[in-house]
Amino acid sequence: MPLRALLFDVGETLWHAPAPPPPQEFRRLAAERAGPVLAALGVDAIDTDRITRVAWDAIDPAMRKARHGDLKEPDYVAAVQDALRTIDVELPRNGVEVLLETIYVSGAEAGKIAYPGAREVLDTLKARGFLLATATNRAFGGRRFRCDLAECGLDIGWDAHAVSIEVGYLKPHPAVFEHALRELAVAPEQALMVGNSLKEDVAGAQPLGIATAWRRSRPDAEGVTPDYTFDELHELLDIPGLEAAGD
Ligand SMILES: [Mg+2]
């Protein structure tokens, strides 16, 4: 069946952070922004630095547990709420949501830049008639993710987004890929998944019948063989079947 669509992983596939700000700068920015938010929530925040750190540090273990467990996106808000209780800070769910949104430093501010040629390759694929979607594991989705893409020059007019936190599951769970296919209204055999993770991108998409192109990086799985391997994004344009979108 001719290819009609491409699904793109984002981190280390379309963008990366070759020179991110040091962790203390992330923490400083986060604490600075959290101050007014915590005050508005009625928290007597003497140590905003500590509160933001506890909140932030609750996210990673929750994500790691999910990645090694049932691949269900965790309830980050509840995880942060629980962590804050350990330092006697009690916030309602919507308060935690606002706090997390505030302390999440992302996009260009986090040092993210698109890989060379990313925009041109995506534009060319679009011009060739392909439907394009993201398929990405992210703890933050919504407007923020779309803005981060725009900041990196990757606001190409995506046909769909499959973001784990919005779908409810993390790659390699099939739900993420199925969401993208459904949104694009294409069959698995009409799609090519492009990503840098053998475990999440390649091994996730293959069982559904989706072809895969792996951006060569440190292998994170054994016994997984992608259909295509590339080093630079422009090589995608030479993959057989990507000359023009099929009907
Ligand atoms: Mg990636």
- For the stretch 205-239, pLDDT in tens is 999 999 999 999 999 999 999 999 999 999 999 99
Q: Is 94 in the same domain as 125?
A: no
Q: Is 116 in the same domain as 222?
A: yes
Ligand 1 centre distance from Cα of residue 17 (Å): 12
Q: Is 48 in the same domain as 165?
A: no
User: Domain tally for the chain?
Assistant: 2
Ligand 1 centre distance from Cα of residue 122 (Å): 17
User: pLDDT tens digits for 45-70?
Assistant: 678 889 999 999 999 999 999 999 99
Ligand 1 centre distance from Cα of residue 99 (Å): 26
Ligand 1 centre distance from Cα of residue 13 (Å): 5
Q: Is residue 243 part of a domain?
A: no
Exposed/middle/buried for 113, CB within 10 Å: 0-12, 13-18, 19+?
middle
Residues spanned by the domain of 51 = 23-104
Torsion of CA 167, 170, 172, 174, to 10 degrees: -20
The pTM score is 0.94
Ligand 1 centre distance from Cα of residue 41 (Å): 36
Q: Decide which of 86, 104, 122 is a domain's last residue.
A: 104
Q: Is 90 in the same domain as 118?
A: no
Q: Decide which of 63, 88, 104 is a domain's last residue.
A: 104
Percent of the chain clearing pLDDT 70 (strictly above): 100
Ligand 1 centre distance from Cα of residue 16 (Å): 9
Ligand 1 centre distance from Cα of residue 197 (Å): 6
Q: What pLDDT is stored for residue 47 in this prediction?
A: 84
Least confident of 29-43, 76-90, 133-147, 193-207: 29-43
Ligand 1 centre distance from Cα of residue 31 (Å): 28
Ligand 1 centre distance from Cα of residue 215 (Å): 9
